[in-house]
Amino acid sequence: MQTKKKGLFIEIIIPEKWADMSIETLLKDYWKVPKKLMHEWRMSKDVLVNGLAIPWNTTLPKDAKLLLPVYKSNPTSIEATYMDLSVLYEDDHLLIINKPAGLETHPSKPNQTDTLLNGVAYHLLLEGHDGELRHIHRLDQDTTGAIIFSKHALAGAILQRMLEERRIKRSYKALVHGKVLKKKGTISASIGRDRHHATRRRVSPSGQHAVTHYKVLQYDSKKDLTLIECSLDTGRTHQIRVHLSHLGHPLAGDTLYGGKPIFHRQALHAYQIKLTHPITEEPLVIHAPFIDNKNVFSE
């Protein structure tokens, strides 16, 4: 799919598979654009085809130039803070960052300005972008790896739906205590809050459904640590940490869930994201290299 940023608009060349769709069908049925955003665009008459505002039931001809006012959304309320970011992927629609340890994904209290979202806001401000900014998922403060951010509301809405439909595949590497005997397996155990601890979660029949798949990569007999790969069907808070602790193999360094403090943080890294681009529809496979592998991971 060919796209190009033009001021406050994105220009998309209509591909053959969209020919004979109307603007209404494309936005409402194909992209499932949120009603509020569709209403804004309909009222502003800013959706243009070959430079003209045409009725939304008009058929889109192949190779026509569709202009969408994606950057006319409300400005972000996130305060920009300078950070030295590791950018894994970036285009006009989304940004993928390799998050370091010790950094929250987004503000969790009023006036907080030291999170990754604040750093991304600064990065985009340097590009002249001050529109809607959204983190599509999150990582714990001391977990490293790839996080997706959207640059406009349309990409954000599509990515959020893709995440809910499990069409964004996130893979993690983790070091756990002990020798994991099963080479691969699935942990299906609901997760809820621990009423005895403000931040801790626990396996609970009354909690939220949670499924983690794992595969053993290697075992270090000297350190009694197993390197495993994990993927998630669900995205519950602390899911991998809770599930592996429940399995009897807590993450190394994860003292909250029974790990020994042999590292300065829990040994968990989101090393790969696979998805179909929300706008161009090209397949993306993004790898996040270990940030502090000398201290935590060994490749």
Which residues lie across from 270 on neighbouring strands?
Answer: 145, 172
Domain boundaries, the chain: 3-72, 87-168, 171-270
292: pLDDT strictly greater than 80: no
> Stretch 6-34: mean pLDDT, rounded?
94
Query: Is 140 in the active site?
Result: yes
pLDDT at position 99 is 97
CA distance readout (Å), 229 to 38, 176, 180, 252, 264: 40, 11, 12, 14, 21
Contact, 98 vs 148, CB < 8 A?
A: no
**Largest interatomic CA distance in the chain:** 70
pTM value is: 0.92
Q: Is 184 helix (H, G, I), strand (E, B) or coil?
A: strand
pLDDT at position 289 is 95
pLDDT at position 294 is 57
The CATH H-level superfamily of 3-72 is RNA-binding S4 domain (3.10.290.10)
- CA 193 – CA 197 distance, rounded (Å): 8
The terminus-to-terminus CA distance of the chain in angstroms comes to: 36
DSSP string, 220-272: ETTTTEEEEEEEESS--TTHHHHHHHHTT-PBTT-GGGT--SSSSS--EEEEE
pLDDT at position 293 is 60
Fold match, 87-168 / 171-270: yes
The CATH H-level superfamily of 171-270 is Pseudouridine synthase (3.30.2350.10)
The CATH number of the domain covering residues in 87-168 = 3.30.2350.10
The per-residue pLDDT for range 149-179, each reduced to its tens digit, is: 999 999 999 999 999 999 999 999 999 999 9
Please identify which of the residues 29, 84, 114, 140 carries the catalytic annotation: 140
- Average pLDDT score, the chain: 93
- Please give the single-letter amino acid code of residue 27: L
